[in-house]
Amino acid sequence: MRKTILLTGIMLGSLFVSAQSRFPTVDKSPMDMSYYPANYPILKIQDKAAEPLLARVVYSRPQKNGRKVFGELVEYGTIWRLGANEATELELFRDAKIGDTRVKKGRYTLFAIPTSSKWTIILNKDNDVWGAFRYDSKKDVARTEVPVQRVADPLEAFSMYFEKTNGNINLVMGWDDETVRMPISFF
């Protein structure tokens, strides 16, 4: 009887360990999502959504971890996926204008080429990519340059959110001591 109980315990324990090992480890740069209007899914379920969903961004949030980010970890003048892991994706639910370019509603990958004074933000039609390793400029849909603003209180995690401004919105991106705003207008 003891052997049977012991054998059953060992089998159940190994099943428990085996089941746990199937789950991936927690990512050091967790994925996040921002909406415009902010908290749209919650507002929608509460029947409080005063505006239709216009945009959503999905991105991973790398951490500063005591490092100097811009100019070192993220090299100036080099293509960057705007975050970590999978390249950041922007979904527009209406036709829009980014910089001087009209963009059809749809899902796009966002890249940036940062410098110390400005970032060139790029919308690209190649989706579901990891990093910027196979970035292809021939698939660019729009490019716009936005000025860098320095902040006194550095951000530990790369962050993105939408803000309303003059009837349009900005996609605000920041990390360490740099913040940029990419204007988006809808028609």
Reported as a single tens digit per residue, the pLDDT across 38-52 is 988 888 889 888 888
Tens of pLDDT along 110-144?
999 999 999 999 999 998 888 888 899 999 999 99
In a domain, 5, yes or no: no
At 69, is the pLDDT very low, low, confident or very high (cuts 50, 70, 90)? very high
Beta strands in the chain (DSSP E): 31-36, 55-60, 89-92, 96-98, 101-103, 106-114, 118-124, 140-147, 149-165, 168-186
Residue type, 68: K
Place of tokens 């996926």: 81
Of 93, 123, 95, which Cα lies nearest the Cα of 108?
A: 123
Predicted model pTM: 0.84
At 178, is the pLDDT very low, low, confident or very high (cuts 50, 70, 90)? very high
Structure tokens at 74: 């993220």
In a domain, 170, yes or no: yes
The answer on pLDDT for 19 being more than 90 is no
What is the distance between the alpha carbons of residues 94 and 96, in angstroms, rounded to a whole number? 6
In a domain, 139, yes or no: yes
In a domain, 19, yes or no: no
133: containing domain: 27-186
The answer on pLDDT for 27 being more than 70 is yes
CB 96: neighbour CB atoms within 10 A? 24
Residue 124: what pLDDT?
A: 96
CA atoms within 13 A on the CB side of 92: 24
What is the distance between the alpha carbons of residues 110 and 184, in angstroms, rounded to a whole number? 13
Residue 18: what pLDDT?
A: 54
Residue 51: what pLDDT?
A: 87
Handedness of CA 106, 111, 113, 117 (dihedral sign): positive
The answer on pLDDT for 158 being more than 90 is yes
In a domain, 161, yes or no: yes
At 13, is the pLDDT very low, low, confident or very high (cuts 50, 70, 90)? low
Q: How many domains does the chain have?
A: 1
In a domain, 14, yes or no: no
At 89, is the pLDDT very low, low, confident or very high (cuts 50, 70, 90)? very high
The answer on pLDDT for 92 being more than 90 is yes
Mean pLDDT of the chain: 89
Place of tokens 């390793």: 133
